[in-house]
């Protein structure tokens, strides 16, 4: 009997410990504490790298950083803006929005309003008669594993073959979730990684449907953005009210850093659990979908008129990119960054980089039209700034 009691006590202590939030001296809900590194020998290398001014502005050359914020041990240690931006101006996230949508799905799970095993049709009942859509679970969707054919092309290949451009600005723009879900099934759900802004739009909309049913139309703000102090957060929708969860979130760099800080603190904020226990661990582990099939890595190039799945070399969890080897015998993508580094990455160089082992969050916004700023080089140039 005594043994049973001890076992019960130990079990509940273990559960309580697993659920406990990390203690911090302060939380930046209102504003970030500052401990700025001012020594030019420490900042010069980073600034020479990140704030390159090459050619004329209209030529769009170099790494055109517009905001850079570095948070170490819960305080801003570096902050700089350029090209007309300042600490108050929200910046477009592009695909960083995908990680925001994933996090909002986590909030819905924490609130008991969604589960990773839910069929999409539970949250999108208008597709209840569509067996292709109903066969997809939220876990598969948030792992880029819907199995739908998607051509994630941007400016390079011709606008007419881009599923994204057609969705955002063309034939699909009025009901973007419908545009996504009427694409044909390419593979069984959960068996093929296909990086897709479409999947992320649907994740955002599932999170919206789940949360707003209970908490009203501003649920994203009342359940995530406001509790962590992301006062500048804007999340756009299409004309049908679908959340544009793959592309269109805006916030200031300081506020993006708060999202990184929430992840760094394993989904807790000021002793309040925002994300479920273990969510961050799952979201930043290589997904089963990615492990299953990361694209056509044969090296064989098909003619431009044919559909070819890109080979993805950076592993992904729940719409967070990971510094892990993509396959046995391969190297991790960011060789100078610690193994536990993970990131939200967006077009033209938007980045939220989290390094738990360094207690570090790096946010970089920019407008790189000449090749996006590499994560590895950015981390490599930030690390000397925060080392004693």
Partner 1 sequence: MNARALFLFGALALAGCAQDDAKLRTYANNDLELSVGNAAKMSCTCLFVMQMDEAYCKDWVRASPNVARFFVDKEKKVVTSSAFISWTAKAHYVDDKRGCVLE
Q: Name the residues that contact partner 1, by CB under 8 A.
A: 57-58, 83-85, 88-92, 149, 151, 155, 159-163, 165-166, 168-173, 183, 186, 218, 220-221, 233-239, 248, 250, 302, 304-308, 367
Residue 120 CB coordination number (10 Å):
27
Strands 272-273 vs 91-92: parallel, antiparallel or unpaired: unpaired
Contact indicator for 264, 361 with CB cutoff of 8 Å:
yes
For partner 1, give the closer residue by CB, 236 or 336.
Answer: 236
Handedness of CA 118, 120, 121, 125 (dihedral sign): positive
Query: For the stretch 93-103, what's the b/e string if a residue is b when 16 or more beta carbons lie within 10 angstroms of its beta carbon?
Result: bbbbbbbbbbb
Give the H or E element holding residue 209: helix 197-215
Tokens representing residue 198 in the block: 């479409």
Q: What is the DSSP letter of 223?
A: I
Compute the least distance from the CB of residue 207 to partner 1, in Å.
15
For partner 1, give the closer residue by CB, 175 or 377.
Answer: 175
Tokens representing residue 196 in the block: 């897709």
Compute the least distance from the CB of residue 323 to partner 1, in Å.
30
Compute the least distance from the CB of residue 149 to partner 1, in Å.
7
Residue 297, SS3 per DSSP: coil
For partner 1, give the closer residue by CB, 253 or 315.
Answer: 253
For partner 1, give the closer residue by CB, 6 or 302.
Answer: 302
For partner 1, give the closer residue by CB, 173 or 291.
Answer: 173
Angstrom distance (rounded) from CA 279 to CA 258: 17
For partner 1, give the closer residue by CB, 197 or 323.
Answer: 197
Compute the least distance from the CB of residue 339 to partner 1, in Å.
35
Phi–psi pair at 31, nearest 5 degrees: -160, 160
Compute the least distance from the CB of residue 13 to partner 1, in Å.
42
Compute the least distance from the CB of residue 184 to partner 1, in Å.
8
């Amino acid at each position: 009997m005594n043994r049973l009691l001890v076992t019960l006590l130990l079990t509940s202590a273990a559960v309580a410990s697993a659920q406990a939030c990390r203690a911090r001296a302060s939380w930046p809900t209102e504003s970030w504490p500052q401990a700025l590194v001012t020594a030019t020998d420490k900042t010069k290398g980073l600034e020479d790298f990140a704030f390159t001014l090459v050619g004329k502005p209209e030529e769009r050359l170099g790494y055109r950083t517009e905001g850079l914020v570095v948070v170490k041990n819960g305080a801003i240690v570096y902050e700089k803006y350029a090209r007309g931006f300042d600490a108050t101006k929200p910046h477009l996230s592009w695909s960083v929005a995908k990680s925001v949508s994933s996090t909002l799905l986590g909030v819905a799970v924490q609130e008991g309003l969604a589960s990773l095993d839910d069929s999409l049709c539970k949250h999108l009942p208008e597709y209840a008669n569509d067996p292709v859509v109903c066969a997809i679970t939220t876990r598969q969707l948030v792992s880029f594993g819907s199995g739908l054919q998607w051509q994630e092309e941007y400016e390079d290949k011709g606008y007419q073959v881009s599923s994204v451009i057609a969705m955002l600005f063309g034939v699909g723009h009025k009901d973007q979730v419908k545009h996504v879900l009427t694409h044909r099934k390419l593979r069984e759900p959960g068996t093929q990684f296909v990086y897709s802004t479409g999947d992320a739009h649907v994740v955002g909309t599932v999170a919206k449907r789940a949360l707003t049913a209970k908490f009203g139309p501003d649920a994203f703000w009342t359940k995530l953005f406001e509790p962590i102090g992301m006062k500048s957060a804007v999340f756009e929708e299409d004309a049908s009210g679908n959340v544009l969860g793959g592309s269109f979130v805006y916030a200031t760099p300081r506020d993006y850093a708060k999202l990184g800080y929430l992840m760094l603190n394993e989904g807790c904020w000021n002793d309040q659990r925002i994300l479920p226990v273990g969510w961050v661990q799952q979201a930043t582990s290589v997904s089963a979908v990615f492990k299953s099939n990361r694209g056509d890595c044969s090296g064989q190039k098909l003619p431009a008129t044919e559909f070819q799945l890109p080979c993805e070399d950076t592993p992904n969890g729940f719409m967070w990119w990971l510094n892990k080897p993509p396959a046995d015998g391969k190297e991790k993508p960011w060789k100078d960054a610690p193994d536990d580094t993970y990131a939200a990455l967006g077009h033209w160089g938007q980045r939220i980089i989290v390094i738990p082992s360094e207690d570090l969050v790096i946010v970089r916004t920019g407008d790189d039209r000449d090749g996006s700023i590499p994560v590895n080089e950015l981390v490599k140039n930030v690390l000397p700034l925060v080392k004693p």
